[in-house]
């Protein structure tokens, strides 16, 4: 073999190797999400099933600072193929900057049909096209209690809720478990309270306009929501340890009073993810849903506040398309949602897969039609952060309410109109 022949052969082999390396890269899909620890284990089980089914490898990175990590990667021009974001507000910025691929032609018809009308709308992130897939959801319009320790009838109206709270306090029983601690986002449990009160008192249309920056924080409806929350939780004896103690209580520890004997508190306004804590081992016995703990809908019934982790697609490749379609389907969400009855899917076909009545009730509500996203999850980051801070300051000194609402409205007015989301609510 002469020199020229050897050179040609070497170039051919190099080209073939290069092609193979490129093919190997294309057969891997990169994924970024906020899940670490046990949540990462569950999500990796989903990704393992995808790899087994398709032969496509995955490269997963989990970070609690997912927004910051993703922003840096996008700025450097190297975003993941798929990201799972903790709220619609995080996704909206990438929709506006045209970084995301619409999913209208990505999801198979059978996958698309599995979502009810409410989630079909919510997953569009305020646009005409679908840009996100809800892979994990939570119900927020709920109040937990221990059936063995409180036999009061469920309140059907806001006034009945106020009356129940006052009646328990007058009897020397502490009605509310409450914790605001959630560094670096302390205060969000209070925003959930105010959002629920406003949604159920003023209706989905008002709530939509408020969460979209079109309603002043100083309006009577918004002020009334804050005052109602104050009536419930700032009075003497209303909160375990007092409302100021709630500022120092981690939200994950607040509900422990439901299970003490005698109970330290009787009610907790908390999302469906509280199930994992309520089921935790306590004195060598496991709490049983429907017996040791249960919930009633935030009154009045008819519409529910929800949150969701949303998968979005940055790089439009066959591998990315295959993973998005898989994540949105029954198999993946059954793996994700079926572990321990603590995680919930918005897919209608999975609502009855849960094994206890409490989890099934939550799942059925999450597949209903009257749903609204958590308002602080929709707001621009400066507004959300100010909302969190205002909740903490209000608990510390309720007399500052008017000043706080004026400060919040000043921040609202300073945010450009195109930074706000307008997502249908209660449809």
Nearest of 26, 119, 52, 51 to residue 319 by alpha carbon: 26
Contact 344, 327 (CB under 8 A): no
Please report the pLDDT score of residue 271 as a whole number: 97
Per-residue pLDDT reduced to its tens digit, 305-327: 999 999 999 999 999 999 999 99
Same domain, 261 and 286: yes
Residue 330 located in a structural domain? yes
Please report the pLDDT score of residue 56 as a whole number: 97
Same domain, 118 and 149: no
Residue 426 located in a structural domain? no
Higher pLDDT, 6 or 98: 98
Calpha distance 185→375 (Å, rounded): 15
Query: Tokens 């989301």 correspond to what residue?
Result: 421
User: Does the pLDDT at position 23 exceed 60?
Assistant: no
Same domain, 330 and 413: no
Structure tokens at 207: 């709530």
Same domain, 170 and 269: yes
Same domain, 127 and 152: no
Please report the pLDDT score of residue 349 as a whole number: 85
Say whether 188 sits in a helix, a strand or coil.
helix
Phi-psi region of 77 (alpha: psi -120 to 50; beta: other; left: phi over 0): left
Of 336, 355, 373, the last residue of a domain is: 373
Please report the pLDDT score of residue 17 as a whole number: 39
User: Does the pLDDT at position 34 exceed 50?
Assistant: yes
Of 354, 373, 392, the last residue of a domain is: 373
Per-residue pLDDT reduced to its tens digit, 132-152: 999 999 999 999 999 988 877
Structure tokens at 126: 């305020």
Over residues 405-423, the mean pLDDT reads 96
Contact 176, 238 (CB under 8 A): yes
Domain count across the chain: 2
User: Does the pLDDT at position 15 exceed 50?
Assistant: no
Count the neighbouring beta carbons within 10 Å of the beta carbon of residue 413: 10
Over residues 185-189, the mean pLDDT reads 95
Residue 11 located in a structural domain? no
Residue 164 burial by CB count (10 A; 0-12/13-18/19+): exposed, middle or buried? buried
CA 31 to the chain's CA centroid: 19
Contact 107, 130 (CB under 8 A): yes
Same domain, 300 and 321: no
Nearest of 249, 145, 191, 171 to residue 389 by alpha carbon: 191
Over residues 277-284, the mean pLDDT reads 62
Residue 44 located in a structural domain? yes
Phi-psi region of 187 (alpha: psi -120 to 50; beta: other; left: phi over 0): left
Per-residue pLDDT reduced to its tens digit, 106-120: 999 989 888 888 998
Structure tokens at 402: 């008017």
Domain that holds residue 161: 142-305+374-419
% of the chain with per-residue pLDDT over 70? 90
DSSP β-bridge partners for residue 268 = 144
Per-residue pLDDT reduced to its tens digit, 331-355: 998 888 765 567 899 998 888 888 7
Contact 188, 252 (CB under 8 A): no
Please report the pLDDT score of residue 3 as a whole number: 37
Residue 387 located in a structural domain? yes
Count the neighbouring beta carbons within 10 Å of the beta carbon of residue 49: 15
Residue 10 located in a structural domain? no
Per-residue pLDDT reduced to its tens digit, 214-233: 999 999 999 999 999 999 99
User: Does the pLDDT at position 21 exceed 50?
Assistant: no
Residue 323 burial by CB count (10 A; 0-12/13-18/19+): exposed, middle or buried? buried
Same domain, 257 and 405: yes
Please report the pLDDT score of residue 392 as a whole number: 97
Over residues 249-278, the mean pLDDT reads 93
In DSSP notation, 46-95 reads: HHHHHHHHH--EEEEEE-TTHHHHHHHHHHTT---SEEEESSHHHHHHHH
At 410, which CATH number? 3.40.190.10
Same domain, 58 and 150: no
Walk across the sheet containing 294-297 and list its strands: 267-269, 142-145, 294-297
Give φ, ψ of 272 to 5 degrees. Answer: -65, -20
Residue 206 located in a structural domain? yes
Residue 203 located in a structural domain? yes
**β-pairing verdict for 267-269 and 371-373:** unpaired
Same domain, 220 and 299: yes
Contact 116, 306 (CB under 8 A): no
Please report the pLDDT score of residue 4 as a whole number: 37
Which of 197-201, 331-335, 354-358: highest mean pLDDT?
A: 197-201
User: Does the pLDDT at position 163 exceed 60?
Assistant: yes
Contact 188, 182 (CB under 8 A): yes
User: Does the pLDDT at position 10 exceed 80?
Assistant: no
How would residue 8 be classed by pLDDT, with cut points 50, 70 and 90? Answer: very low
Contact 174, 168 (CB under 8 A): yes
Same domain, 335 and 213: no
Please report the pLDDT score of residue 396 as a whole number: 95
When mean pLDDT is compared across 143-147, 186-190, 283-287, 350-354, the lowest value belongs to: 283-287
Same domain, 260 and 349: no
Mean of pLDDT over the chain: 89
Higher pLDDT, 337 or 30: 30
Per-residue pLDDT reduced to its tens digit, 372-403: 999 999 999 999 999 999 999 999 999 999 99
pTM over 0.75: yes
How would residue 2 be classed by pLDDT, with cut points 50, 70 and 90? Answer: very low
Please report the pLDDT score of residue 287 as a whole number: 64
Same domain, 50 and 37: yes
């Amino acid at each position: 073999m002469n020199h020229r022949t050897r050179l040609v052969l070497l170039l051919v082999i190099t080209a073939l190797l290069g092609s193979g390396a490129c093919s190997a890269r294309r057969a891997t899909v990169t994924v970024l999400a906020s899940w670490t620890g046990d949540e990462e284990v569950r999500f990796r089980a989903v990704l393992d099933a995808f790899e087994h089914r398709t032969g496509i490898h995955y490269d997963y990175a989990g970070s609690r600072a997912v927004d910051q990590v993703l922003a840096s990667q996008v700025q450097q021009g190297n975003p993941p193929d798929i990201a799972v974001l903790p709220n619609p507000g995080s996704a909206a910025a990438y929709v506006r900057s045209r970084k995301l691929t619409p999913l209208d032609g990505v999801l198979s018809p059978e996958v698309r049909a599995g979502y009810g009308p409410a989630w079909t709308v919510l997953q569009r992130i305020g646009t005409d096209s679908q840009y996100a897939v809800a892979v994990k959801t939570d119900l927020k319009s709920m109040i937990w209690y221990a059936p063995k320790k409180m036999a009061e009838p469920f309140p059907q109206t806001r006034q009945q809720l106020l009356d129940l709270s006052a009646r328990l306090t007058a009897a020397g029983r502490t009605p509310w478990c409450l914790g605001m601690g959630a560094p670096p986002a302390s205060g969000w449990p209070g925003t959930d309270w105010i959002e629920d009160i406003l949604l159920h008192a003023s209706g989905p249309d008002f709530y939509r306009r408020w969460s979209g920056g079109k309603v002043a924080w100083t309006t009577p409806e918004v002020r009334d929501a804050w005052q109602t929350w104050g009536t419930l939780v700032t009075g003497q004896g209303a909160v375990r340890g007092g409302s100021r103690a709630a500022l120092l209580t981690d939200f994950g520890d607040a509900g422990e009073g439901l299970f003490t004997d005698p109970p330290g508190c009787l009610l907790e306004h908390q999302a469906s993810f509280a199930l994992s804590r309520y089921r935790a081992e306590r004195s060598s016995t496991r709490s049983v849903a429907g017996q040791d703990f249960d919930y009633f809908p935030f009154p009045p019934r008819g519409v529910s506040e929800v949150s969701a982790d949303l998968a979005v697609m940055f790089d439009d490749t066959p591998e990315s398309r295959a993973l998005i379609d898989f994540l949105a389907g029954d198999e993946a969400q059954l793996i994700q949602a079926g572990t321990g009855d603590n995680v919930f899917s918005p897919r209608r076909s999975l609502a009855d897969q849960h094994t206890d009545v409490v989890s099934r009730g939550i799942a059925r509500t999450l597949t209903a039609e009257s749903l609204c996203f958590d308002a602080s999850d929709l707001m621009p980051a400066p507004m959300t952060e100010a909302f969190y801070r205002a909740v903490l300051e209000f608990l510390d000194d309720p007399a500052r309410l008017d000043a706080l609402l004026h400060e919040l409205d000043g921040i609202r007015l300073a945010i450009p109109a195109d930074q706000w989301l307008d997502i249908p609510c209660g449809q």
